[in-house]
């Protein structure tokens, strides 16, 4: 568990490239662990399936038998031997006192749990052609059993109207043409009666023999049943049907029963079953890329699907969305899942049992078996049995306690004391106040994703992989997109909202970046790569630029998804090269534009407020042109004492050339540079006066930063040693222009290059000049009168209770104007940080309140946007 550090001395650490991807917090401690009540040992047989009635435990084994155990004494009561293959699934029908068992021998047996006699043998359609019968699901309301088969078929048998033969007198039942042949020994009469064996023989000798040989099941009036051809859906999946679950509907209220199936084809399918017919109708397919779906549990409107590679997918039935992904243990199969209230229990191939809360945090984790856990069942014994067991075994149990029963390939069945989350003592657990957003940010900040330094390239890649998994856990479909050799990948994640009939969902693209500027330790009060909380602020590199806002927006989408309130598609496009010019970003977007999909608006959160308060909305950014000049002679570096005055020095040419760019008032001297600059409106001038009082800065200074162009000389570099006796043979300078509406980027670039070449030509210098444009970004201005901006402004106003300030930024974000042009839609920019957040500087921070309320603003905004309906095409 990641714990925030208090103010402490820095520690030296090496680059971290691998970190656990799970967003689930570890809230367990020893007091919260379920107690082991008892262990049952199967002789040389893996426990493949489990079921339980009020007073019995049933275990299906690899040895083809069903063991019946008493829940009071934990002793073996009976061994049911009818199958000739491994018992792969057990299903208990409490209202009929029936136990269904499915086997690798292609049969389903129906047993009485009162008399432990075999009632029926059900054969699937095509019998052995169906292969192993992996899963069963019983619908009490429909009286129908559903069977998942190896041949990928889904089959069912309707037991309504079929008379139970448990209490019938011999010969009173209706035999069928499919009745099995009588056994010449077990179905025989006493020898003196000289009667042929038949199914209704009542041989006291055979009964006594059954008592002597408990492996022989007592047989009542046995009927052979057959699944008709009409009760089969061939190729229900493109893989084995490993697991199933029933979500019962209230038929009296007109609700339909739903069947959930999971398969080796990496899908979960949802079927609707009407009360008038047990025929399942497919209504939705959930598709994953996490291996076969091996286990399913369902409660209410939520499905939990355990996958082959250690992931559990949390699916919402109503919205047909994957609302969360739990990373239990990457690469370790989840073979069983069980539910107790809002608690999810997962059972892995590593023998580990873990309990997850409604917030998807791990509240208990322990080694359950010395091998693979293959099956599980949660059941509450009868109250009389429970009280008796409590006294006999001196276990601290309560009437609210349940039994968790697990089976593994170590030949053991184990019974654990578990209690529902509402009755579990909260003092047993180390409950933390950290929210998902803080916990996720603590993991995100730990990646030293510095894109400008090659030594951190693997850290950047690992940060992208982690972010992809993070978005997936929060409910998005996520992937990585390549940006070219040597460049960091894009992270693409889509939170899919609920569709409304006749209305096209709005699709919003959220842009951000996971790369950060370097963080030399000098000047930091805490480790820049460990999230530290002090006095209401979270400190760490990237918390405000731009990892904190990314987590806030992602958690906002996840929260709406959990509440079934997300009615838009939110597409995350997060790059890893923003801090060094967005290398490969534009080309990658064009290549994968179809995968990104149609976009209606662009949303960004990558700047700060103008002060500490009130909240702001950014509606404008300046553009930028980065240029490198190089003036070189055809000579090597020279000694100034020997050659000074005899040569035309490149440095002097450079100084003269740079001097031509501005005048004494710092006005840029490039021809026609100011011709297209948009004049300030009266409304803007009034805004600058208001902001001047707020920031204690002159209004003219604010205006010059936001809506006036500028030129900056960044550095001058020379060849050769840096001492006072050398004439450098080559001099290089880097300059930049900031441009504003309505300057044309291409025109400005051409004018700059033409001016530099023309000015240098007037020198008549023998030296040579090279002018290269390293990077450009256009200016951006938002649409203040558009519905999108008004929706965002309303969200900020409603959350903070004040009117937000409309501000502009002097800096540039190249991707915003590019994305606007590429997707032909408008962009919005919500800053979450404050003016003192120290982005790019030591002790970078973000207010915890701003982060939390920023998330709330995003939720409000997405809800507002969902009301901007567009008719479906």
pLDDT in tens, 511-559: 999 999 999 999 999 999 999 999 889 999 999 999 999 999 999 999 9
Does the fold of domain 623-674+709-778 match that of domain 436-621+781-871? Answer: no
CB count in 10 Å sphere of residue 248: 15
What is the mean predicted confidence (pLDDT) over 618-647? 91
- In tens, the pLDDT along 1-21 reads 333 333 333 333 344 445 668
Q: Where along the chain do its domains lie?
A: 30-163+177-428, 436-621+781-871, 623-674+709-778
Q: Write b or e for each residue in 86-114: b if 16 or more Cβ atoms lie within 10 A of its Cβ, otherwise e.
A: bbbbbbbbeebebbbbbbbbbbbbbbbbe
- The pLDDT of residue 408 is above 90: yes
Helix (H) / strand (E) element for 393: namely: helix 383-393
φ, ψ for residue 386, nearest 5 deg: -65, -45
Can you tell me the mean pLDDT for 391-408?
Answer: 65
Across the range 604-626, mean pLDDT stands at 95
Asked whether residue 281 carries a pLDDT value surpassing 80, the answer given is yes
* DSSP summary character for residue 608: B
How many Å apart are CA 623 and CA 677, to the nearest integer?
12
Q: How confident is the model at residue 217 (pLDDT cuts 50, 70, 90)?
A: very low
Type and span of the H or E element at 558: helix 547-562
For the segment 324-351, the average pLDDT, to the nearest whole number, is 94
- pLDDT, greater one: 485 or 479: 479
Number of Cα atoms under 13 Å in the Cβ half of residue 445: 31
Residue 350 confidence (pLDDT) above 50: yes
Q: Tell me what the mean pLDDT of segment 432-442 comes to.
A: 78
Average pLDDT (558-582) is 94
Backbone angles phi, psi at 589, to 5 degrees: -65, -45
Quick one: DSSP state of residue 26?
A: B
Using pLDDT thresholds of 50, 70 and 90, give the confidence band for residue 435. confident
Model confidence at 173: pLDDT above 50? no
Nearest partner of 186 among 171, 199, 175, judged by Cα: 199
- Lowest mean per-residue pLDDT among 245-259, 724-738, 832-846: 245-259
If you average pLDDT over residues 404-423, what whole number do you get? 91
Instruction: Spell out the long-range contacts of 814-817 with Cβ–Cβ below 8 A and sequence spacing 24 or more.
Output: 814/581, 814/582, 814/585, 814/624, 814/775, 814/776, 814/777, 814/778, 815/511, 815/575, 815/578, 815/582, 815/585, 816/511, 816/602, 816/604, 816/621, 816/780, 817/621, 817/623, 817/777, 817/778, 817/779, 817/780
Q: Longest C-alpha distance within the chain, in Å?
A: 138
Q: What is the pLDDT of residue 395?
A: 39
3-state secondary structure of 793: helix
Containing 244, the helix (H) or strand (E) segment is strand 241-247
Least-confidence region, from 594-603, 695-704, 766-775 = 695-704
Structure confidence at residue 253 as a pLDDT band (50, 70, 90):
low
pLDDT computed for residue 589 by the predictor: 97
Write the pLDDT tens digit of every residue in 632-645: 998 898 888 888 88
CA 291 from chain centre, in angstroms, equals: 16
The more confidently predicted of residues 419 and 655 is: 655
Band the pLDDT of 197: cuts 50, 70, 90.
Answer: low
Instruction: Give residue 508's pLDDT.
Output: 98
Does 423 have pLDDT greater than 80? no
Looking at residue 644, its pLDDT comes to 84
pLDDT mean across residues, the chain? 87
The answer to whether the CB of 601 falls within 8 A of the CB of 830 is no
Please write down the HEC assignment for all residues of 807-860: EEECCCCCHHHHHHHHHCCEEEECCCECCCCCCCCCCCEEEHHHHHHHHHHHHH
How would CATH label the architecture of 30-163+177-428?
Answer: 7 Propeller (2.130)
What does the alpha-carbon distance between residue 324 and residue 348 come to, in Å, rounded to a whole number? 19
Residue 168 has pLDDT above 80, yes or no: no
- Give the phi and the psi of residue 365 in degrees, each rounded to 5: -155, 125
Confidence of residue 54 (pLDDT cuts 50, 70, 90): very high
Tell whether the model's pLDDT for residue 208 goes beyond 80.
no
- Listed in sequence order, the DSSP H helices in 474-546 are none
User: What gap in Å lies between CA 316 and CA 304, rounded to an integer?
Assistant: 9
Which has the minimum average pLDDT: 395-409, 524-538, 760-774, 813-827? 395-409
- The span from the CA of 360 to the CA of 327, in Å, is 10
Give residue 289's pLDDT: 82
Residue 433: per-residue pLDDT = 42
Mean pLDDT of 69-92: 94
Mean pLDDT of 596-619: 95
Q: Determine the Cα–Cα distance for residues 547 and 540; give it in Å rounded to an integer.
A: 10
- Tell me how many degrees the CA angle 754-816-844 measures, rounded to the nearest 5: 105
Please tell me the pTM assigned to this model. 0.77
788 pLDDT higher than 70: yes
- Residue 436 scores a pLDDT above 80: yes
pLDDT score at 391: 41
Which secondary structure element, helix H or strand E, spans residue 149, and what is its range?
strand 144-149
Give per-residue pLDDT as tens, 805-820: 999 998 899 999 999 9
Separation of alpha carbons 829 and 805, rounded Å = 12
- CA 600 to chain centroid: 24
Q: Is the pLDDT of residue 218 over 70?
A: no
Q: How confident is the model at residue 465 (pLDDT cuts 50, 70, 90)?
A: very high
Is residue 100 a contact partner of residue 108, using CB atoms and an 8 Å limit?
yes
Arithmetic mean of pLDDT, 141-160: 95
Evaluate if residue 510 carries a pLDDT over 80.
yes
Count of Cβ atoms closer than 10 Å to residue 175 Cβ: 13
The pLDDT of residue 872 is 57
Closest CA to 295 of 280, 305, 287, 286: 305
E runs forming strands in 583-723: 601-604, 616-621, 623-632, 638-639, 710-718
Q: Give pLDDT, residue 103.
A: 96
pLDDT in tens, 312-336: 999 999 888 898 999 999 999 999 9
* Average pLDDT of span 89-102: 97
3-state secondary structure of 70: strand
Going by C-alpha positions, the residue among 701, 699, 697 that lies closest to residue 682 is 699
Topology classification of domain 623-674+709-778: Alpha-Beta Plaits (3.30.70)
Instruction: State whether CATH 3.40.630.10 applies to domain 436-621+781-871.
Output: yes
Mean pLDDT confidence for 218-223: 51
């Amino acid at each position: 568990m990641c714990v925030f550090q208090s103010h402490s001395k820095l520690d030296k650490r090496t680059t971290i490239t691998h970190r656990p991807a799970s967003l689930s917090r570890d809230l367990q401690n020893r007091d919260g662990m379920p107690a082991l009540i008892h262990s049952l040992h199967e002789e040389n047989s893996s426990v493949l399936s489990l079921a339980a009635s009020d007073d019995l435990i049933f275990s299906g084994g690899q040895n083809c038998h069903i063991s019946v155990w008493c829940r009071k004494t934990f002793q073996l009561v009976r061994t049911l031997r009818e199958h000739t293959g491994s018992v792969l699934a057990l299903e208990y029908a409490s209202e009929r006192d029936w136990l269904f068992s499915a086997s690798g021998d292609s049969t389903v047996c129906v047993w009485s749990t009162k008399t432990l006699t075999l009632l029926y043998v059900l054969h699937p359609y095509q019998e052995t052609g169906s292969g192993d019968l992996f899963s069963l699901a019983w619908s009490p309301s429909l009286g129908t059993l559903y069977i998942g088969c190896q041949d990928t078929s889904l089959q069912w048998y309707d037991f309504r109207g079929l008379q139970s033969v448990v209490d019938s007198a011999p010969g009173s039942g209706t035999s069928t043409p499919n009745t099995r042949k009588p056994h010449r020994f077990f179905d025989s009469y006493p020898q003196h009666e000289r009667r042929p064996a038949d199914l209704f023989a009542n041989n006291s000798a055979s009964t006594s023999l059954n008592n002597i040989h408990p492996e022989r099941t007592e047989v009542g009036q046995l009927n052979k049943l057959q699944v008709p051809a009409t009760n089969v859906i061939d190729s229900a999946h493109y893989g084995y049907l490993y697991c199933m679950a029933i979500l019962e509907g209230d038929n009296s209220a007109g609700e339909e029963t739903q069947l959930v199936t999971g398969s080796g084809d990496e899908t979960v399918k949802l079927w609707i079953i009407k009360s008038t017919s047990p025929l399942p109708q497919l209504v939705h397919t959930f598709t994953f890329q996490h291996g076969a779906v091996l286990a399913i549990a369902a409660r209410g409107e939520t499905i939990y699907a355990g996958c082959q590679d250690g992931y559990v997918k949390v699916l919402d039935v109503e919205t047909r969305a994957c609302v969360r992904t739990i990373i239990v243990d990457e690469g370790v199969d989840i073979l069983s899942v069980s539910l107790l209230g809002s608690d999810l229990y997962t059972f892995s191939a590593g023998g580990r049992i873990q309990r997850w809360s409604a917030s998807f945090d791990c509240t208990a984790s322990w080694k359950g078996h010395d091998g693979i856990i293959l099956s599980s069942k949660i059941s509450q014994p009868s109250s009389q049995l429970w009280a008796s067991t409590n006294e006999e075994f001196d276990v601290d149990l309560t009437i609210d306690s349940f039994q968790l029963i697990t089976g593994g390939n170590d030949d053991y069945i184990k019974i654990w004391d578990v209690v529902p989350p509402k009755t579990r003592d909260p003092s047993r657990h180390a409950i933390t106040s950290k929210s998902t957003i803080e916990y996720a940010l603590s993991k995100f900040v730990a990646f030293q994703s510095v894109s400008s330094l090659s030594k951190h390239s693997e850290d950047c890649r690992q940060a992208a992989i982690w972010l992809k998994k993070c978005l997936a856990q929060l409910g998005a479909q996520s992937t990585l997109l390549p940006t070219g050799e040597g460049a960091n990948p894009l992270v693409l994640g889509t939170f899919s909202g609920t569709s409304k009939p006749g209305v096209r969902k709005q699709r919003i693209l959220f842009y951000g970046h996971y790369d950060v500027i370097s963080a030399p330790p000098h000047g930091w009060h805490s480790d820049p790569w460990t999230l530290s909380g002090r006095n209401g602020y979270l400190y760490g590199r990237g918390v405000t630029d731009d990892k904190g806002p990314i987590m806030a927006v992602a958690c906002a989408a996840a929260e709406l998804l959990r509440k079934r309130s997300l009615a838009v598609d939110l597409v995350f496009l997060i790059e890893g090269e923003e801090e060094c010019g967005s290398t490969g970003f534009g080309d990658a977007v064009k290549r994968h534009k179809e995968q990104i999909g149609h976009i209606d608006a662009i949303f960004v959160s990558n700047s700060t407020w103008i002060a500490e308060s009130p909240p702001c909305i950014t509606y404008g950014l300046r553009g930028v042109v980065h240029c490198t000049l190089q003036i070189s002679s055809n000579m090597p570096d020279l000694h100034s004492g020997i050659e000074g005055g005899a040569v035309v020095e490149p440095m002097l040419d450079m100084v003269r050339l740079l001097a031509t760019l501005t005048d004494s008032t710092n006005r840029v001297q490039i021809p026609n540079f100011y011709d297209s600059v948009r004049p300030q409106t009266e409304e803007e001038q009034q805004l600058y006066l208001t902001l001047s009082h707020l920031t204690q800065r002159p209004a003219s200074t604010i205006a010059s930063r936001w809506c006036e162009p500028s030129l900056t000389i960044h550095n001058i570099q020379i060849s050769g040693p840096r001492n006072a006796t050398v004439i450098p043979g080559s001099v290089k300078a880097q300059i930049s222009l900031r441009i504003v509406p309505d300057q044309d980027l291409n025109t400005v670039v051409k004018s700059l290059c033409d001016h530099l070449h023309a000015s240098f030509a007037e020198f008549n210098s023998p030296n040579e000049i090279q002018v290269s444009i390293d990077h450009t970004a256009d200016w951006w201005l938002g649409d203040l009168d558009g519905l999108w901006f008004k929706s965002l402004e309303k969200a900020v106003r409603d959350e903070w209770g004040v009117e937000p300030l409309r501000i502009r930024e002097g800096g540039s974000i190249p991707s915003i104007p590019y994305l606007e042009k590429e997707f032909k839609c408008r962009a919005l920019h919500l800053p979450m940080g404050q003016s003192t957040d120290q982005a790019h500087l030591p002790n970078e921070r973000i207010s915890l309140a701003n982060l939390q309320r920023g998330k709330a603003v995003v939720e409000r905004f997405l809800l507002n946007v969902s009301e901007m309906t567009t008719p479906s095409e």
